[in-house]
Structure 1
């Protein structure tokens, strides 16, 4: 506020009453020199912006080693959840605020420690109870519960006493220089969810010019402020704002009247008197003479205390009135910008305190420790860049570096206490003088929370002060698990198989995911990359099914994983339940005898005593043959004719009505050699040109001869197939890994699938008990097909009816739909689900997806499992043994951890 010394002259020109007024005699001098013209500036800077904190770095703090230390327990953060695809949009900040708010509600002192040691970053959170009857152990467990509740997927390890010493105490004791950061952190409006206002850079570490890693620590100590104290602070700010408001604007006025009366009045504004007495008294008694030092103390203590506190007789204005029988007046308004801004500041702090009543308010100290002062200065500067936001100017971020003998290190590092704002002065001689007698309990106008080298802030601001990193750093793992799936699948009634434990955002829960064993009759699709855990899931299903005396069969086209598993299982199985292992090309496996697999492609599979459909079987075989030995033009038709005539001729020779729907099985069936003979006979009857006839004959002979060569010939060119009753009524492993070509594997697997389908049809037709159970949708047999694309391959290229791949796909699609009615369940397993026919997804009840890396595979599985848009991004990040499962009775997909062999469900 400026003094007014210029003359104020009214040039009044009344037309009637004021004609006789002498304006030269009406000069009035309004002098405000007696009023302190920096009063509100000092109020703003010292009380609201806490400018006195600029003079704390050279002080010596009281270290009371007789005071008992609070017991603190620590948790180490080992992992933080992020969204697998849109991690920048994942609101980690709000979740962290939820954790802090819970701790405030319980009244726990909160400690946050970012420790950089040996190139590793470690995050710790600690708690100490300030309530009687609640131990530190209880406090830390409640902190863990709060963290898991607000941030599912966070990894927290409780530190033992020994671990606390090794992980925290020992590294901190190497850091002998300390500084602090004060001021109110605030967010920048242009940063989305505080993405750039995080401790990422601090967590990455700092290096010197030679690339040497620096060790340092950032320690945040936050004491919860109770609601009654928050209310008291709000009341103090409001009263202060009310008093300030009276000094924001001053009015001076002048009027001229005809008459001889004159009057002078002197008034002192009540607001300034009250504020002056309060601030002057506190500033003069403590802030000036005791804490802030001579220079600032003189300014506040002498000036505010004497000038304001004692100027009860000062004047804000003077009036001089002359009555002239008429009047003319003018008013001048004087605006004190310092007072106006001080009023704005009090309103802002009231708003912050009200937000603190919602989520919590804390007395927070931010301290930095380092091996050398330069490191402390560097880290505090980095924190300033993080904390400075749009509204930080209300109390600016200040950096402090304390002298080695200030006792700050002992108070903060050793006791984990806030630095008190009363101190012992250190004279030039270096000896500590006696402490000035002060009322330590209550000396600050705004309350006890302002009597520490700390900053009272609300939970929102504290979440920024302790803003968690958002990037992978050495020592802290970020896991892409911040996606929620269903936690309450549909309950299973009756006999159930427990697949594993439900997982919520990476945290394994105690509740389990179960499936009805009979629901497997509606088939299952298992997809996942190599090493993702498919085999573990499948073996668990097979084991549980076998426990219910339901036979299983596994067709394994590659590797020998299931062979080894079966051999190991046989050691603990009774003889009648042991696996029968077929592995063409091997007589034994690691000393275990291997059964011989024989499949006569002309022999239908049938239950003992059941009739067979030779015509239908020959048509199936023709379709499979053309799919596995693709040809063009007329060749597929000729191949089908050869197959038909070969079996028809044998049936006629044995007086079997080939065209009838069901006939008795033949004692012996034609072989591949029979097809070669029949092919020549048929081609001789054709009327093609000789050259074309010769070419077609050679094509047919070449294709049929491939069925005789090598390993496939040993399997297919036989008179009698392996007993189908034994094959489909026992636990069986068929390993085709020693077959060289994928087409050979496809043909054998296709013939086995065809045989299974025919066998279940005959069981259903002949066995009354079997049919009764099948009609009740009971699971009577389970076949697992690995590398299922060998038999369920989606057709490519020409999609017309003449495409043999399309015909085979339609055949197996129909099998998937029909075979369930006969009590047969299928488990379709593949690494690339997009290669499979549509029936593999549409005609399967359970879909189990492990980790997949290809985007098209992810999209397909997400679509058939009714994922939300964000859930599909979880598929490529699944850990080994984790899967997402969805059945037709589930409301939504469920994330499940399947235990490894030998492990049990939690």
Structure 2
């Protein structure tokens, strides 16, 4: 059924135009349009005046923030400044370079706004400002490629970007997907988006609303049809007579006046008659059909009436009425209603609603005219890149408008002019060619999208690609907030706040007094742990806090601080540093001997695997060796005016005897001898034997001055642990003995490197053999560390693996400095103690070198810090000439031997005061046991007064032989020489070896020394006595022949 009020032909033309406007079907045929000549305002665009670019070299994301929303913030900033936004991908097939920039009439403001907004939303992201000349080179490369502009193919991609139906944490629309898909291919991509101002957005919205209004009448048609019938019959008879007389006089006067005025205007333009014409003009501009009419009317009337009336009458009436009637009514009614819906119009109206909804978002977020252009040296690469990008950005609502790809191949007549537009970061303007059936004569190559959609189209890579690292980081504090900071507290600088991969000007300072409650520093190799400790030590030294560094590995610290004049360095190899000398049995006067024995046994338990009754046996042997040295253990006094302390060499002698007289079985005794005696004896041999001696380094040098103890050349981990433990014990006793009060301010710091050697994690369970001795010993050490803070002693405990340390070590440290740790168990172990959440824990494995998580217990939250680089190293310089030292040592030893053996020599020496004093000094610094050293020095000092020496008497030869054998290790010489049973060969080998210690030019002295050494060896090993007698007989014969 045709309706006269609407014309179907007009409606059809409107549909065609509406589809072009709403679905933008014209975008599929852009290559068939003619590129318009470049207008002046675009032709005048230059790099220097209008274009700026930044290269994105690193992207940093916060895990807890929505990346898309932050991109919207950035793009809104640019749009609010009325600028165009450009994004460039340039791939050489191996690496990708990513650029973001602007085109603006106010280029400096737009550039500053983009940079600050980017850094504000993505702190840590690195933007490299590209110079104008570099921008020009880049643009030239985009459009010429490896060959020439003529060979480049250009593909444009248009459409509405939309989110895919996936969870936010599964975002799959980042540009890394495009870059990975095109890996190995050379291509470039230019993304252009022109900001649309509010007036433009409002006009677009009004245009859609008008279009909706005009299409609505055509959406539905309703037809209603009805029918009704009725019939009636009536009969009646009336008779009547009426007589009437009337007289009437009437006078009437009337006056009337009227006036009417009218007007009508009409203007009509009949080009392209269409019900949508006004809407098209609002949306896109151009000529349209309009009609306008004006009608005006004016009326005026007046009336006047005058009248008189007189009436007289007589009336008489007679009436007779008779009625009869019949009524019959029949009726029927039928109604029909039919409703028609034009689905095409309905769909168009739905799309208009969706477009209006997009525009409402655009009013809040901004509106853009957007398109993307791919360029490559061959059509296939450009087309593949375009199709990958098209599929990447399409989502749930992308079908609202058509998505299209247009290809301008080499040789296309319009391509050069198109590139001229693009080189100025502008969309091309296109006009309809003849024969193209379109309602639109002028079009633009882009499509309208809001800022949320632009954030999808310009979706920065969410994962690293070749050339662009992408990092997700957890958030840390940006300032150090302390709970109970006092203004008078001392602080030291550690570095700067490091936030989202970027160093900030805010300083990170540590409270010095908090460091007295100890510090834990951890990090894998190469993470910057050592540099961090260098800074701590150096800054504390500026606060007059002295340091002791115990380093069991690498030996780096002496090359950093060792060259300073106020630093002492001790080592375990005399060729590289002065030798560390320490007696485990020595203790300060204020310490009870039994108290010291308890600590010493605990150190052995912590460093050696001890089981069953071993600790008890060792303790009994230690007590015996003190008693033999002259100590009353209960009263902690020595029987001599000057206390004498035993040594490990004496313990080696006593320990087998203690085991032998015990009630254990022979097998157990054998096991104990093989375990305990062997370990103790190993400490009296080699380089270590030169360390554990009675003539030790004073405590004041080790614990009250700046000192470095390098244990890196000790091969055995057990020996390293024992050395560290003994140093720790001596430090604790020194602090206790010299305490001046409680809760002293920090005055000394001890650095324990590779602390697991001493404070290793142990099992908390009890074994079949007895209690967990090692665990209890480590617990004792950790408790001692906690208690020592009251004396002003702080510890910096450093280790590469927190999981190897006893948990209490980490728990009892107030300051945590955590650097890169790849192992998950290590991260969990240390992270919980620094108030880190799960995301911050995972961040530990990704920390850059020199970046640390820092936390003190009175801070509100941990912070990331870029630790200052320590560049003030003063390497340790140590000159040691072994031959010269040996020569000097041999000369002094020769003098002492001549004095002690003077009665057995044929020649006499002048034992004047200077000579004797030199000998006293040498013996005083020797490694003789303390009591023997005192005896010898006392005898030598009396020599000047009495001219007699007890050792010159023949009856004291055994004492003389014992002293000489301890000054010169006779056992070593005999063991070297006794491989030959021939006395002549034996003597030759022995004298060659003895020449190392005594001047070989004095044969008589050498033989006298040799006799003492062989005698003492025969006394210790009776099996050697017969050989000694044979040697003596042989030497007597030799002398007789001479």
TM exceeds 0.5? yes
Structure 1 residue 586 and structure 2 residue 574: aligned? yes
Task: Choose which of 405, 413, 416 in structure 2 pairs with 1:405.
Answer: 413
Q: Is the 8 A contact 1:555 1:735 kept in 2?
A: yes
Q: Distance in 2 between matches of 1:499 and 1:285?
A: 64
Q: Distance in 2 between matches of 1:664 and 1:45?
A: 115
Residues 632-661 of structure 1 deviation map (CA, whole Å, 9 limit, x = unaligned): 222221011111222244343xxx564459
Does the Cα contact within 8 Å between 1:612 and 1:663 map onto a contact in 2? Answer: no
Q: Which residue of the partner structure matches residue 735 of structure 2?
A: 760
Q: Tell me which residue corresponds to 1:618.
A: 597
Q: Is the 8 A contact 1:172 1:413 kept in 2?
A: no
Residue range with higher mean Cα deviation, 679-688 or 728-737: 679-688
Q: Corresponding residue for 2:757? A: 790
Secondary structure, aligned partner of 1:396: coil
Q: 2:851 matched to which residue of 1? A: 882
Q: TM-score scaled to structure 2, two decimals?
A: 0.70
Q: Which moved more, 1:239-248 or 1:814-823?
A: 239-248
Q: 1:42 corresponds to which residue? A: 16
Go from structure 1 to structure 2 and tell me whether the alpha carbon gap of 1:600 and 1:194 turns closer, same or farther (over 3 Å shift).
closer
- Equivalent-residue separation in structure 2 for 1:499 and 1:244 (angstroms): 71
Determine the C-alpha separation between the residues in 2 that align with 1:274 and 1:355: 36
Q: Which of 455, 458, 467 is 2:447 aligned to?
A: 455
Deviation at 1:749?
0.3
Deviation at 1:374, TM superposition (A): 2.8
1:116 aligned partner: 91
Write the deviation string for residues 305-356 of structure 1: whole angstroms up to 9, x where unpaired: 8xx999xxxxxxxxxxxxx976422111110001111111111111101111
Find the partner of 2:616 among 631, 637, 652: 637
Specify the SS of the correspondent of 1:857: helix
Judged with a 3 Å threshold, the aligned counterparts in structure 2 of structure 1 residues 274 and 742 are, in CA distance, closer, same or farther, namely farther
Change (3 A) 1:251 1:785: same
- Superposed, 1:605-684 pairs within 5 Å as 606=588, 611-652=590-631, 658-660=634-636, 667-684=643-660
Find out whether 1:595 has 2:582 as its counterpart.
Answer: no
Q: 1:58 to 1:194 in 2, by over 3 A?
A: farther
1:546 correspondence with 2:534:
no
Trace 1:468-483 onto structure 2 (pairs within 5 A): 468-480=460-472, 482-483=473-474
Partner of 1:359: 365
Q: 1:700 Cα deviation (Å)?
A: 3.9
Counterpart contact for 1:109–1:222, Cα < 8 Å: yes
Preserved CA contact (<8 Å) 2:13 2:274:
no
Which one has a larger percent strand, Structure 1 or Structure 2?
Answer: 2
Which residue in 2 is equivalent to 1:830?
Answer: 799
CA contact 1:116–1:217 (8 Å) conserved in 2: yes
In structure 2, distance between residues paired with 1:164 and 1:757: 67
Whether 1:464 aligns to 2:438 is: no
Deviation, structure 1 residue 629? 2.7
Q: Aligned pair count?
A: 778
Report the alpha carbon displacement of residue 278 of structure 1 after superposing the two structures with TM.
5.3
Is 2:151 the counterpart of 1:198? no
The alignment status of 1:277 with 2:274, answered yes or no, reads yes
Counterpart-to-counterpart distance in 2, 1:35 and 1:283:
18
Contact 1:525 1:844 in 2 (8 A): yes
User: What is the CA-CA distance between 1:189 and the residue it aligns to?
Assistant: 1.8
Deviations 1:65-91 (A, max 9, x none): 7431051110011112257xxx7x974
* Deviation per residue, 1:518-545 (Å, 9 max, x gap): 2211100001101111001000000101
SS of 2:444's partner is: coil
CA distance in 1, matches of 2:502, 2:38: 44
Deviation string, structure 1 residues 734-757 (Cα, Å, up to 9, x no partner):
111111110000000000011111
Aligned partners of 1:683, 1:378: CA distance in 2, in Å?
86
State the match for 2:161 in structure 1: 185
Cα deviation, residue 38, structure 1: 3.1
- What's the CA shift for 1:53? 2.4
2:94 and 2:667 mapped to 1: Cα distance? 80
Matched with 1:146 is: 117
Q: Distance in 2 between matches of 1:196 and 1:182?
A: 20
Q: Following the alignment from structure 1 to structure 2, what is the Cα–Cα distance between the partners of residues 821 and 663?
A: 34
Q: Residues 470-549 of structure 1 correspond to what in structure 2 (within 5 A)?
A: 470-480=462-472, 482-490=473-481, 493=487, 494-549=489-544
Over 3 Å counting, the alpha-carbon distance change for 1:274 and 1:326 in structure 2 is farther
| Paired residues for 1:117-266 under 5 Å | 117-130=92-105, 134=106, 136-174=107-145, 176-190=152-166, 192=168, 195-204=171-180, 206=182, 213-258=184-229
- The aligned residue for residue 316 of structure 1 is none
Cα deviation digits, residues 153-195 of structure 1 (max 9, x gap): 2221111123223444334332532221222112222364672
Partner Cα distance (2:620, 2:426) in 1: 94
Determine if contact 1:739/1:745 at 8 Å carries over to the other structure.
Answer: yes
Q: For the residues of structure 1 that align with 2:684 and 2:507, how far apart are their CA atoms? A: 51
CA distance in 2, matches of 1:344, 1:661: 104
Residue 54, structure 1, aligned to residue 49, structure 2: no
Contact 1:40/1:339 (8 A) holds in 2: no
Q: Per-residue displacement from partner, 1:825-868 (whole Å, max 9, x unpaired)?
A: 00000011011112211110111110001110011112111111
- Determine helix, strand or coil for the equivalent of 1:181: strand
For 2:230 and 2:372, locate their aligned partners in 1 and report how far apart those are by CA, in whole Å: 69
Deviation per CA, 1:444-474: give whole Å up to 9, x if none.
Answer: 89xxxx9521111001111111112223222
Q: Does 1:705 align with 2:681?
A: yes
Corresponding residue SS for 2:128: strand
In the alignment, is the contact (CA less than 8 A) between 1:782 and 1:825 conserved in 2? yes
> Which SS does the other structure have where 2:31 is aligned?
coil
* Cα pair 2:10 2:274 within 8 Å, conserved: no
Please report the RMSD computed on the Cα atoms of aligned residues, expressed in angstroms: 3.4
Output the CA distance in 2 between the equivalents of 1:284 and 1:681.
115
* Residue in structure 1 matched with residue 77 of structure 2 by the alignment: 102
Shift of 1:807: 2.5
Q: 1:699 Cα deviation (Å)?
A: 4.4
Q: Which has the higher contact order (CA 8 A, sep 6+)?
A: 1
| Residue number in structure 1 paired with 2:550 | 555
CA distance, structure 2, for counterparts of residue 664 and residue 339 of structure 1: 119
Aligned CA distance change for structure 1 residues 127 and 695 (closer, same or farther; 3 Å): closer
1:418 equivalent in structure 2: 427
SS in 2 for 1:587: coil
CA contact (8 A) 1:611 1:662 kept: no
Identify if the C-alpha distance between structure 1 residues 461 and 690 changes in structure 2 by more than 3 Å, giving closer, same or farther: closer
Q: How many Å separate the matches in 1 of 2:28 and 2:847?
A: 52
The alpha-carbon deviation at position 705 of structure 1 amounts to 1.2
Q: TM-score, normalised by structure 1?
A: 0.80
Distance 1:692 1:510, change over 3 A: closer
1:648, 1:658 within 8 Å by CA — same for their partners in 2? no
Query: Would you say 1:819 and 2:788 are equivalent positions?
Result: yes
Displacement of 1:365:
2.4
Unpaired stretches in structure 2, ≥5 consecutive residues: 232-269, 293-329, 874-1042
Distance 2:674 2:453 in 1: 85
**Range moving further from structure 2, 836-845 or 684-693:** 684-693
Unaligned runs of 5+ in 1: 6-28, 208-212, 261-272, 291-300, 311-323, 429-442, 589-593
- Residue 747 of structure 1 aligns with which residue? 722
In 2, the alpha carbon distance for the partners of 1:233 and 1:663 equals 109
C-alpha contact 1:282 1:444 (8 A) present in aligned 2: no
Aligned-partner Cα distance in 2 for 1:820–1:862 = 24
Distance in 2 (CA, whole Å) between partners of 1:117 and 1:387 is: 23
Check conservation: 1:187, 1:194, Cα contact below 8 A. Answer: no
In the TM superposition, residue 414 of structure 1 has moved relative to its aligned partner by 1.8
CA distance in 2, matches of 1:709, 1:453: 89
Higher-Rg structure is: 2
